[in-house]
Structure 1
Amino acid sequence: MSTADTLSKRRAKPAQEASVGAALPDLELKKAPSQQRAVETYERILAACAELLGEVGIERLSTNLVCQRAGISPPALYQYFPNKYAILHELGMRLMTVQNELLTPWAVPATFMLPEPAFAGSVAELFLQTMELTAHMPAGVWVTRALRAVPSLQHVRNRSHDFVTDMLLLPFMDAHPRANRAQARLTIRLAIDALYAAQELLFDDPSLDPQAVAATMAEMVAGQMMRLRRG
């Protein structure tokens, strides 16, 4: 099963879970487009939202602005999305899926058997690749910020990080079956969050050197992973 398939199956639950005890916006699609014309309209909505997000920011973004930019009427938008947060949710799911797909060739036992310097180098390279991919995705940086700043969207990032943790844990344990599984899972989960936070910092502070940040974070992660190997 692909990353996209797995994450898509998790779309419905988070909105329901997040709404318990709180008046959070509905994130579920009203319906999925089926006909070609409907798909084109759906994609125009997403593209317009991505463009506007970088221009006006999260707070000023509205469905009316999206409709104007996409050249459609509000009823056409509301066929698919109940509010602007549902559009951001879809953009976030797409970004997380594409980011996670970078891991597929990396997440193998051979990676976790590399000596520390080589492993750190591979982590740094993956870090920079993820940054570049995000920067080139439509509104990728702003979608990243939305996943952090908007309470109803935070589950997208959290569930994606949980998925990646399990994705990396399996090849690590295959490579090092004597390692403490619970500690390995915790270490990998914390490493993913730390690397993601470092990328957000680079997006927020362009004065920092991405190469230096990548190398420093990779060395920190590699050091922890080596400790796990030694048991």
Structure 2
Amino acid sequence: MSDTATMPRKPKSSPPAPPDLALKKAPSQSRAVETYERILGACGELLGEVGIERLSTNLVCQRAGISPPALYQYFPNKYAILHELGTRLMAVQNELLTPWAVPSTFELGEQDFAASVAELFLRTLELTAHMPAGIWVTRALRAVPSLQEVRNRSHDFVTDMLLVPFMTAHPRADRMQARLTIRLAIDALYAAQELLFDDPSLDPQAVATTMAQMVSAQLMRLRG
């Protein structure tokens, strides 16, 4: 019998547990709200300065001018703070869709619809770039596995939000295929936005136009 056959097997190590993202409590009094917002603001500032890996709750406390216990009243770790920043970013981005997501938008011809998608894409890009740490929060939602659910949940919400006016405008379209196409379009547009943040040499207008034409062409095929 070989030596390797008699060697005891090492127990398989369990994957690390995902970080707790749940808010410990929501601030209620004005002073607590101020502390809460200072934590978020400090985290956003530091995220752009030191990046995701070097970011720590101690650094956030130093920047916010508070003690660690004050931070831990609300957030169990840095990922919970990033989770809140990501949720806020997605909500603000989605607000841009409200006046756009109406049946009349989906009744536009292919070129006009593409132009409206391109305009919305550029507005979302500008909004994200001008939000405190918006670009870095976007990167965190992609890079940190435990935070990806924030983006996925938002994309599911937007998909259902857009499906209603699309089906109202085109009731004979295949609903399941329409939902799949809209969801893929949202993910593709979001990926294009991330690409522009990662590669500033690209022309935002060219990217917006190209992506919008692709999305428009796919949706035109679904019209009944």
The reply on whether 1:69 has 2:63 as its aligned counterpart is yes
> In structure 1, what is the equivalent of residue 159 of structure 2?
165
Unpaired stretches in structure 2, ≥5 consecutive residues: 1-14
Give me the TM-score of the superposition, normalised by structure 1: 0.90
Question: 1:36 is matched by which residue type in structure 2?
Answer: S
CA drift of 1:76 comes to 0.3
> In structure 2, what is the equivalent of residue 133 of structure 1?
127
- From 27, 33, 38, the equivalent of 2:32 is 38
Please identify runs of 4+ aligned residues in structure 1 that moved more than 3 A: none
> In structure 1, what is the equivalent of residue 109 of structure 2?
115
Larger Rg: 2
CA drift of 1:22 comes to 5.4
Give the number of equivalent residue pairs. 210
CA drift of 1:81 comes to 0.3
- 1:43-74 deviation digits (Å, cap 9, x = unpaired): 00000000000000000000000000000000
Question: 1:28 is matched by which residue type in structure 2?
Answer: A
Question: 1:59 is matched by which residue type in structure 2?
Answer: E
Show the 5 A alignment for 1:76-155. Answer: 76-155=70-149
Alpha-carbon RMSD: 0.7
Distance 1:149 1:173 in 2: 34
CA drift of 1:116 comes to 0.5
Distance 1:171 1:80 in 2: 39
The reply on whether 1:60 has 2:54 as its aligned counterpart is yes
> In structure 1, what is the equivalent of residue 3 of structure 2?
none
> In structure 1, what is the equivalent of residue 9 of structure 2?
none
> In structure 2, what is the equivalent of residue 5 of structure 1?
none
> In structure 2, what is the equivalent of residue 211 of structure 1?
205
Give me the TM-score of the superposition, normalised by structure 2: 0.93
Distance 1:82 1:180 in 2: 45
Distance 1:22 1:152 in 2: 11
Distance 1:31 1:219 in 2: 45
Distance 2:160 2:26 in 1: 29
Distance 2:83 2:58 in 1: 17
Unpaired stretches in structure 1, ≥5 consecutive residues: 1-20
Secondary structure at the counterpart of residue 205 of structure 2? helix
